[in-house]
């Protein structure tokens, strides 16, 4: 699926305090568009000082080419890595199609 469409989605969940570093490293490799939101994490993400074992992480989501997906995941890992439990995960998901809302056209692989 990834190869056929030419696109993928990189989603990562990481520590709040790594955002500035992640953002900077992504821009250095030419990734200029991404969205970020707050999530509550459990388990691997647990904060044992919190009464409900819940902690706050950030979730980043990037739509990119299939070719760049792994490099972007690696960049996020390098930027968000502390070596401690709760560092989170990065994943690459397949994508069928991506469209620009501004142009109302499909994105071509060389545009991302």
How far apart (Å, rounded) are the C-alpha atoms in residues 75 and 92? Answer: 13
Q: How far is the CB of 109 from its own copies (least distance, A)?
A: 13
Pairing mode, strands 89-95 and 7-15? antiparallel
Our CB check for its own copies shows the closer of 23 and 49 to be 23
Q: Is the CB of residue 107 less than 8 Å from the CB of residue 96?
A: no
Chain residues that interact with its own copies, rule: CB under 8 A: 1-2, 7-9, 12-14, 23, 27, 31-45, 57, 59, 61, 63, 69-70, 73-74, 76-78, 80-102, 104, 107
Q: How far is the CB of 8 from its own copies (least distance, A)?
A: 7
Taking the mean position of all CA atoms in its chain, how far away is CA 98?
Answer: 16
């Amino acid at each position: 699926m990834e190869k056929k469409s030419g696109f993928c989605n990189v989603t990562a969940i990481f520590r709040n305090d790594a955002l500035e570093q992640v953002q900077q490293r992504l821009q250095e490799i030419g990734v200029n568009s991404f969205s970020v939101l707050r999530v509550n994490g459990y388990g691997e993400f647990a904060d044992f000082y919190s009464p409900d074992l819940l902690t706050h992480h950030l979730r980043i989501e990037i739509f990119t080419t299939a070719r760049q997906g792994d490099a972007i995941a690696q960049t996020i890992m390098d930027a968000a890595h502390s070596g401690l439990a709760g560092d989170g995960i990065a994943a690459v998901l397949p994508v069928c199609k991506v469209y620009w809302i501004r142009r109302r056209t499909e994105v071509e692989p060389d545009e991302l």
